[in-house]
Amino acid sequence: MAIALRRFMNKSNKSPFDEMLLDGNAVRSIYQSYSSWLKDNPYQQLESKRAEAELLFRRVGITFNVYGETAGSERLIPFDIVPRILDAKEWKLLSDGAIQRVKALNMFLHDIYHKKEIIQSGKVPASILRNSQYRPEMHGVDVPNEIYAHIAGVDLVRTGENQFYVLEDNLRTPSGVSYMLENRKMMMRLFPELFRRYSIAPMEHYPQVLLNNLRAVAQPGVQEPTVVLLTPGAYNSAYFEHAFIAQQMGVELVEGQDLFVRSNAVYMRTTEGPKRVDVIYRRIDDDFIDPLTFRPDSLLGVPGLLNVYRNGGVTLANAVGTGVADDKATYIHVPEMIRFYLGEEPILSNVPTYELSKPDDLKYVLEHLAELVVKEVQGSGGYGMLVGPSSSKKEVEEFRLRILANPSNYIAQPTLALSTCPTLVENGIAPRHVDLRPFVLSGKTVSLVPGALCRVALKEGSLVVNSSQGGGTKDTWVLK
C-alpha cells in the first residue's frame, strides 16, 4: 500500500471537525438515526459484535502476511464497527472531483508519453521527464482507449463541513478495495437493523464494473477477451485481496510462472495446454514485471512481457509508467492539468504545497519550519520527513540544514487537522482521525461505485491511518 504522509497535526487548539458531532455536541443530521441506535446498544454488546467480526474475518482468512513469521500468525487489519456516513451531496462532490482528477491524470499520462504538449505550454516543467518513475520505454506506445490508470485510489481528507483535500493519487497498484467490500458484507451481517434504518447505496457490484472496464481495454479486434489477475503470490501482503478480486470477477489468478510469451502474445499454462491472455490486471510493480527490461533479479514477472505489451499484444492494467503521475513532485501540477486538458476548474483542492526549488517558497518555509510538514520529493512511508509541530527545536534545526543542502529535493505543506469519526475503542466510543480512499475505475467509462475504503488511526490523537502503523478500517455508507 502506498503510504503517504498522514501525520498532519492539529495546529490550533480547536477540536478537529467530527463526522458525527458538531461543536456544540449536536449530532449532525445524517448521524441522528445512528446516534439514537447507539444509545440503545450498550458498550458490551458492541464489543461482542466487534469480537464476532474478528472471528469471522479470521475464519474467512482475510488476513495479511507479515514476512518472516510462521504460517499461523497472519494478522488482521482491525475493523471498526462504527460506519463513516456521507450524504448524497457530499458524495457527489467527492465522486465528481475524483473522476475529474483521474480523467485529467490519464490525459496527462498519454500526453507525456506522446507529444508532451503540457510541457511545451510551460504548465508543467520538463524536469518531470527526469523523474525516476518516468518510463522512456513507454514513449510513443499507444494503449487502448488512452487509459493508463484503470484503477486509481484517490486519498481524501476532510478538515471541515465543506473542506476536502486530495492527499495523493495512487495510480500504480492501489490496494484496499477488498476491505471496502468485505467491511460492507460484515456490517450487513452484524447490524441488519441499521440497514433498514438507512437507505445506503449498494457498491457490491464493484468487481463487475472492474471486469467490464478491463474487458473494454483489450486490444482492438479481440472478441472474447481473457482477463487474468497477476499476483506476486501467496506470500505477498495483499494476497487475500488479489485472490478475492479474481474470484469475484471470475478470472484466473496467475503468478509470473504461469505466463509465458510467444510470438508477440502472452499465454498461460493450463492443464489443457497454452491459453492466450488479453488483459492482465497486474498487482506487481513496474520494476518487477519483466526481468528482461526492468529488474533482472525479479522472479515475479514474465520475461518478454514488456515487448509484447509495447507491440500491442496484450493490455496491462494499470499501464506501465503511471508512477510519474502520482509522484509528489507531480501532485502539485494536477490542478493545472485539470485546467489544461479539461478546461475546467478543479472540484477538489490540493493541499497547498510549497516547492522548495522556488526561492519565494523556500524563504517562507524556512521562516515557518516549526508549523509545517516537509517531505522528500521521492520519499514515501513517512521517511525523510519533518512534522514541524511535533518536532523538537533540535530536530527542526537539523532538518533545516538538510533542506539547505538540496532545497529542490523537498516540498512542504501546512499541517491539516484531519476530521474524526466516532470509533469503538477500549472503553467505549471515542473520536479518531480518518481518511477516505474511493476507487475510480476507467476503461469503457470513468466511474466509481458509491463507497470507499475508510481508514482510521486507532491510537488517540494519532493521524497515522495506515495498517502497518496500527490503523484500522471502517465501512463507508453513502446515503441515497
Partner 1 sequence: MLSRTADHLYWMARYIERAENVARVLDVAYNMSLVQAPGQTEASLWEPALSIAGNEEVYREKYGETSATGVIKYLTMDEDNPSSIYSALQSARENARAVRVAMSSETWENINALWLEFAQFFGVDLSVGRLREFCDWVKSRSHLFRGVSFGTMLRDDAFRFIRLGTFIERADNTARLLDVKYHLLIPKVETGEALDYYEWGAVLRSVSSFEAYQKIYRDSIVPSRVAELLILRDDMPRSLHACFDEITVILDHLSGRHDNECRRLAGELHARLHYGKMSDIFAQSLHEFLEEFIERNNFLGVEIQRTFLNAHGA
Q: Which residues bind partner 1 (CB under 8 A)?
A: 58-61, 71-72, 233-234, 239, 243-244, 246-247, 252-255, 257-258, 260, 262, 267-274
Cα dihedral 268/270/273/278 (nearest 10): -30
The span from the CA of 30 to the CA of 353, in Å, is 33
Instruction: Count other Cβ atoms within 10 Å, centred on residue 23.
Output: 9
Tell me the closest approach of the beta carbon of residue 190 to partner 1, in angstroms: 18
Tell me the closest approach of the beta carbon of residue 448 to partner 1, in angstroms: 24
In the block, cell 466509481 appears at: 448
The span from the CA of 335 to the CA of 348, in Å, is 9
Torsion 90-93-95-101 (CA) sign: negative
Tell me the closest approach of the beta carbon of residue 228 to partner 1, in angstroms: 9
Cα dihedral 255/261/266/267 (nearest 10): -70
Nearer to partner 1, 229 or 446 (CB): 229
Tell me the closest approach of the beta carbon of residue 265 to partner 1, in angstroms: 12
Phi, psi for 435 (deg, rounded to 5) = -130, -175
Nearer to partner 1, 13 or 70 (CB): 70
Nearer to partner 1, 61 or 160 (CB): 61
Nearer to partner 1, 204 or 258 (CB): 258
Strands across the sheet containing 372-376: 354-355, 410-414, 372-376, 385-387
Tell me the closest approach of the beta carbon of residue 229 to partner 1, in angstroms: 9
Q: What is the DSSP string of 423-474?
A: EEETTEEEEEEEEEE-EEEESSSEE--S--EEEEE-STT-----GGGTEEEE
Nearer to partner 1, 58 or 358 (CB): 58
Nearer to partner 1, 160 or 250 (CB): 250
Instruction: Give the type of residue at 370.
Output: A
Nearer to partner 1, 102 or 253 (CB): 253
The span from the CA of 151 to the CA of 155, in Å, is 13
Tell me the closest approach of the beta carbon of residue 177 to partner 1, in angstroms: 16
The span from the CA of 472 to the CA of 469, in Å, is 9
For helices 206-216 and 239-249, angle between their N-to-C axes, nearest 10 degrees: 80
Tell me the closest approach of the beta carbon of residue 203 to partner 1, in angstroms: 20
The span from the CA of 194 to the CA of 471, in Å, is 25
Tell me the closest approach of the beta carbon of residue 472 to partner 1, in angstroms: 21
Residues with Cβ within 8 Å of 243's Cβ and at least 6 positions away in sequence, in order, are: 231, 253
Three cell numbers written together for 377: 520529493
Tell me the closest approach of the beta carbon of residue 206 to partner 1, in angstroms: 16
Residues with Cβ within 8 Å of 210's Cβ and at least 6 positions away in sequence, in order, are: 151, 245, 249, 281, 441
Nearer to partner 1, 233 or 312 (CB): 233
Nearer to partner 1, 261 or 324 (CB): 261
The Cα-based distances of 322 to 108, 136, 151, 209 in angstroms read 10, 12, 11, 21
Q: Which one, of 88, 143, 87, 139, lies nearest residue 113 by Cα?
A: 139
Nearer to partner 1, 145 or 236 (CB): 236
Nearer to partner 1, 304 or 451 (CB): 304
The Cα-based distances of 283 to 75, 106, 110, 270, 316 in angstroms read 21, 19, 21, 21, 10
Tell me the closest approach of the beta carbon of residue 258 to partner 1, in angstroms: 5
Tell me the closest approach of the beta carbon of residue 255 to partner 1, in angstroms: 7
- For the chain, give the number of residues: 480
